[in-house]
Structure 1
Amino acid sequence: MSATKHIAVIGGGAAGFFAAITAKSMAKDANVTIYEKTGKVLAKVGVSGGGRCNLTNNFAHISDLKQAYPRGHRLMKRLFKSFRETDAYQWFEEHGVELVTQDDGCVFPKSQDSQTIIDCLVNTARRLGVNVVFHHGLVALKSLEDGRLEADFKGQKSLCFDKVIVTTGGSPRLQGLQLHAQLGHEIALPVPSLFTFNIADKAFTQLMGAVIDPVTLSIPTTKFKSTGALLITHWGMSGPATLKLSSHAARYLYENEYQTKVAINWVNQSNASAVEQCLMEMAIKNPKKQLSSLRPFDLPSRVWLFLLGRAGLDAEKRWEELGRKGLNKLIETLTNDMHIISGKGSFKEEFVTCGGIGLQSIQANTLESKACRNLFFAGEVLDIDGITGGFNLQAAWTTGYTAGKSAAEQLSSAI
């Protein structure tokens, strides 16, 4: 009779639980243990989606995975062949969680409470016999001659495992990934992703509370662009359009120390002649009315007055007095209004890191390390990250499933 095989999952987050559940489901005789460095599991799941847990997306608005995953889209496309958003949806429903899909594609538990997802994962793991051990922070990993891995935990004794799945999440500092670099893994420098923009212009921030939906944001002289709702706050710019742009441009913004121009197309119209036609029609139909009294493209009143000021136009001027020069200024302001990003804010609900274990260091089909046999990675510790909208948790389910399945299959084939 063969000795019990041991699988360690390092990190009690979304990817960790999904990896452990998958591994134990497929290798029932194996001992599967989650090692969590804190005293609480699934903390990030708890705050996802403002406490409602945006656990995936229906991807209806995504025509290319690069739109959802600025980093790691090619790997995600491959892994989706085994476990994609429809599989995640089905898995949670089969495990007793009723789900609802919003118009924007975001999927939430019907309860609108992240605790529903936490309870589902914790109870499923417990039912299967997955162990959970707290206050075990990984500090070192060593490959032994027999192929097993020795793990050192801070303030705890070293333990040996047949398979190790690292799901420790994004590391905000390079230092947190050093132990993996020492094993021979390429590390992509970790930098923040999904954050808001500070705008120092007081006239702009006085519009706080205004929502303009949709706008197009772009960074001049780059290809970085995003579309969605813009929320103006007391510090600057937030909302889906901002968060999306921060994700796609995460490295560029980091390299430019979060000081760069951002262009706002307030009317989400790339065709300037269509904007011109709309304004001219307003002028022809309402020649005697003041500019302030008619708002093109249903712009909020405060925003429209702000934009008239940006274009250097008197709000009390009549539409018939606009003239060609005034019209051109207004078109430019509506479609290409330039502001200066003066720093980055935070986005507490979805604190995400761009960077981590370089994807060239892992086997694409199994997520096993190329540098260290029997070691797997899943979740945000990998250089995979998505825009807001449930895409990061979907990456956790997909990579957790893949790593757990691969580790279990290897154990089964070795018996």
Structure 2
Amino acid sequence: MKKKITIIGGGAAGFFCAANLDENKFNVTILEQNNETLQKVKISGGGRCNVSHACFDPRELVKFYPRGNKELLSVFHKFQPGDTMDWFAQRNVSLKIEGDNRIFPESNSSQTIMDCFLKEVQAKNFEIKTQSVVLEIQRLEEGYKIITKEGEILTNYVIYTTGSSPKSLKMIENLGHKIVSPVPSLFTFNIKNDVLNDLMGTSFPHAEVSIPKLKMEESGPLLITHWGLSGPAILKLSAWKARELSDLKYNFEIKVNFIGIDKEQAEEVFKNYREENPKKTIGNSKIFEITNRFWHRILWLSKIDLEKNISHITKQELQKILENLCENTMQVKGKSTFKDEFVTAGGVDLKEINFKTMESKILENFYIAGEVLNIDAVTGGFNFQACWSEAWLIAQDLNAK
């Protein structure tokens, strides 16, 4: 007789696990509390689904995870982004690696990934129940009783892939697991500053941003948004310092270098340009890798007339320009969610998980994967890769039973 598996949570980890389970051994039911499954997959990457990241060395890959890097090393040795690409290729889903190493479906549509999962799960005749709200999980001598709004389910195994909602964390805490309290991980910085005003959409390919109080610096693309600053440089800071920034109540000072080269180098670049273009006005001088609008904003802040000849820029004026470009200090007051991709730091304590199988060390025949764990990554497909790898391990362990 087939054993019964109940997967609580119809997201990335839950579906990938189901897609890899042996239908000849198990009857599987996926319980999803919302109207639709795979909602995070749908919105990821602006609707294109950033499936993974082209980093194929587990030792390098774990460096993108502020929490869970030690534990994931063994997991990625068993299933990493190359295996993810193979898995989809075997199911006729073509993936592509973009210039920044993010991996997307060739179709540029998350629907392709969702359709693949649904097709796999439906082909196995597994049951998918939407609008199925789990109220409580009870341990039995043999297996578990899951109490939902519709009734009770008796099951041999539970796979817990609920995401990090407070309710789902409370439910697993009630079963004896320790929870590291969740705080937002990927978010943009809210800043009111004259240098950013009305310049939404302006980007800087090679910026550097530091938080002096936390002795933390990151580099990468930077973007001015309606609320302040975003882009990979900011998101990396928000992920690595999620807990500390929460402690600061998102009120702290940052230092921004918009051009990513230090003041001395920038001075050199300026002087070389001036030597070659002595007749140009400062406003028409294209010296650094920034837009004209932003250059004019820097000159306005530095109180320099756009029509002034570049040869007449004084030493003090040049220092003011370089300060505004390379050492701009701003006050962050608050945060905004990065797009719709709400990611948290926190969740089930990792000491309570067996990372060979993703089975709970506290609850027998109870497996945990995805964002409900105290694991998270920077943006770029890494959070999904952790889901695929963890879910694959669960399926391998169960299939071998």
Give the TM-score normalised by structure 2: 0.93
SS in 1 for 2:138: strand
Q: What are the residue-to-residue correspondences of 1:155-166 with 2, within 5 Å?
A: 155-166=149-160
Counterparts of 2:86 and 2:122, CA distance in 1: 20
Check if 1:379 corresponds to 2:370: yes
Q: Specify the code of the residue in structure 1 equivalent to 2:228.
A: G
Matches within 5 A, 1:31-180: 31-59=27-55, 64-146=60-142, 148-153=143-148, 155-171=149-165, 173=166, 175-180=167-172
Deviations 1:105-139 (A, max 9, x none): 11111111111111100001111222212222222
| 8 Å CA contact retained: 2:56, 2:82 | no
- 1:343 aligned partner: 334
- After superposition, the CA RMSD in angstroms is 2.1
Distance 1:24 1:311, change over 3 A: farther
Find the partner of 1:324 among 290, 315, 326. Answer: 315
Percent identity over the alignment is: 37
TM-aligned CA distance change 1:256 to 1:375, over 3 Å: same
Which residue does the alignment assign to 1:234? 226
Q: Is the 8 Å Cα contact of residues 374 and 407 (structure 1) preserved in structure 2? A: no
1:120-179 CA distances to partner (integer Å, 9 max, x unpaired)? 000011112222122222222222223x122222x13222221111000122x3x44112
Residue 396 of structure 2 is aligned with which of 402, 405, 408?
405
In the TM superposition, residue 67 of structure 1 has moved relative to its aligned partner by 4.1
Q: Which sections of structure 1, spanning at least 5 residues, go unmatched? A: none
The residue identity in structure 1 corresponding to 2:147 is D
Q: CA deviation at 1:311?
A: 3.8
3-state SS of the aligned residue for 2:255?
strand
Distance 2:211 2:59 in 1: 22
Structure 2 distance, partners of 1:377, 1:61, is: 24
Structure 1 Cα separation of the partners of residues 58 and 172 of structure 2: 33
How many residue pairs get aligned? The number is 401
Q: Deviation digits for residues 162-216 of structure 1, max 9, x if unmatched?
A: 1111000122x3x441121122212111111222222122551211121211212
Worse-superposed segment, 29-38 or 10-19 = 29-38
In structure 1, how many angstroms separate the alpha carbons of the residues matched to 2:5 and 2:215?
A: 44
Could you tell me which amino acid in structure 2 is paired with residue 351 of structure 1? F
- Aligned partners of 2:369, 2:393: CA distance in 1, in Å? 8
Please point out which of 166, 184, 193 is paired with 2:185. Answer: 193
The answer to whether residue 243 in structure 2 is matched with residue 257 in structure 1 is: no
Deviation at 1:365? 1.4
CA–CA separation in structure 1 for the residues paired with 2:267 and 2:72: 42
TM-score with structure 1 setting the length: 0.90
In the superposition, relative to structure 1, how do residues 14 and 77 fare at CA in structure 2: closer, same or farther (>3 Å)?
same
Give me the whole-angstrom Cα distance separating, in 2, the residues matched to 1:61 and 1:101: 16
Letter in 2 for 1:208: M
